[in-house]
Amino acid sequence: MARIEGACLLRVESVMSTLSPSEQRVGLCVLEHPRKVVQCTITRLAQECDVSESTIVRFCKSLGLEGYKEFRIAIAQELGAMEPELVSPELEAASEIKSLAHSVFSNNIRALEATLAGLDMDAVSRAIDALAEAKRVDFYGAGPSNVVAMDAYIKFMRIGMATGFNGNTYLQAVSAAALTERDVAVAISYSGSTRDTIDALTIAKNAGATTVAITNFSDMPICEVADIVICTHADEELFRGGTMASRTAQLGVIDLIFAGTVSRRRDVFTAQFEKTRAALLSKLRGR
């Protein structure tokens, strides 16, 4: 697969003067709304820019890529490396804390509602079955998704399940390689194109583990190495500071899988949870 050398958006800027007028419309749309590209099919982007799909393909080839899929992945990878957009124009306009609070909470609520409405319940059920019977479960993530992976690790550890988590990508690979067909690997990636996360899940799959991906897009590279794909729906339209809304949706999915896993083997996991709860209470009491 061809790859853009250097920053993708900078490359778009550098070739703008060489593009045809219709291709320039595509370039301007990409530069102004790069996150929209990750969410758009080629048909939808063509409609947004009022050009043909063939114009989109020519635009991508002008960047040295084979087509729109490669361009979309390149943008997703670049956005994954960017700092979160913590402030949107709507939030800047908020003059009071009450207004700010309403904006932040309502956008997170909408992300959860959209994810719930679009959940593939069969995929969720298969993931729960796999985790309930697993000998060990590994969790992988990068950036904000790394925090979600750590949250999942803590939850499942508290019910006595053998779990693995490490923020170091090299150690993720080592842990993934040690899995077997009796184990499960869960990878969390909003874009579905985070290279380190995909690498860890691929290694786990090659080791024989059942692989689960939690992502926002069903046609990105991580889905190709996942036996089970669960999609969140924290879209750009829901919240321009996408990292916040996507993290909330991911945590919601993790909570659902956790609750379902406990319900599958309630007798075993409840007893283990009581042990960890007692240990924590002892710590709080200073004993």
User: Domains along the chain?
Assistant: 8-81 (1.10.10.10), 105-283 (3.40.50.10490)
Q: Answer whether 0.85 is exceeded by the pTM.
A: no
pLDDT tens column, 61-79: 998 888 898 888 888 777 7
Give the pLDDT of residue 3: 45
What is the C-alpha to C-alpha distance for residues 178 and 117, in angstroms, rounded to an integer?
36
pLDDT tens column, 218-263: 888 999 999 999 999 876 444 444 467 889 999 999 999 999 999 9
Give the pLDDT of residue 219: 81
Q: Quick one: pLDDT band at residue 208, thresholds 50, 70, 90?
A: very high
Give the pLDDT of residue 234: 79
pLDDT tens column, 30-63: 888 887 788 788 998 999 899 999 999 999 999 8
Backbone φ and ψ for 285, nearest 5 degrees, come out as -85, -5
Helical spans, DSSP H, in 168-286: 169-177, 195-206, 221-224, 242-264, 266-284
The 10 Å Cβ neighbour count of residue 181 is 9
Please determine, for residue 127, whether its predicted confidence score (pLDDT) is greater than 90: yes
DSSP state of 221: H
Give the pLDDT of residue 257: 97
Structure tokens, 164: 């693995």
Please determine, for residue 88, whether its predicted confidence score (pLDDT) is greater than 60: no
**Range from 50-59, 93-102, 224-233, 266-275 carrying the lowest mean pLDDT:** 93-102
What is the C-alpha to C-alpha distance for residues 133 and 154, in angstroms, rounded to an integer?
18
Nearest CA to 193 out of 216, 220, 232 is that of 220
**Range from 47-51, 56-60, 96-100, 178-182 carrying the lowest mean pLDDT:** 96-100
pLDDT tens column, 6-18: 467 888 888 888 9
Q: Quick one: pLDDT band at residue 287, thresholds 50, 70, 90?
A: low
Give the pLDDT of residue 237: 46
**Range from 82-86, 155-159, 188-192 carrying the lowest mean pLDDT:** 82-86
**Average pLDDT over the chain, rounded to whole?**
85
The H or E element containing residue 231 is: strand 228-231
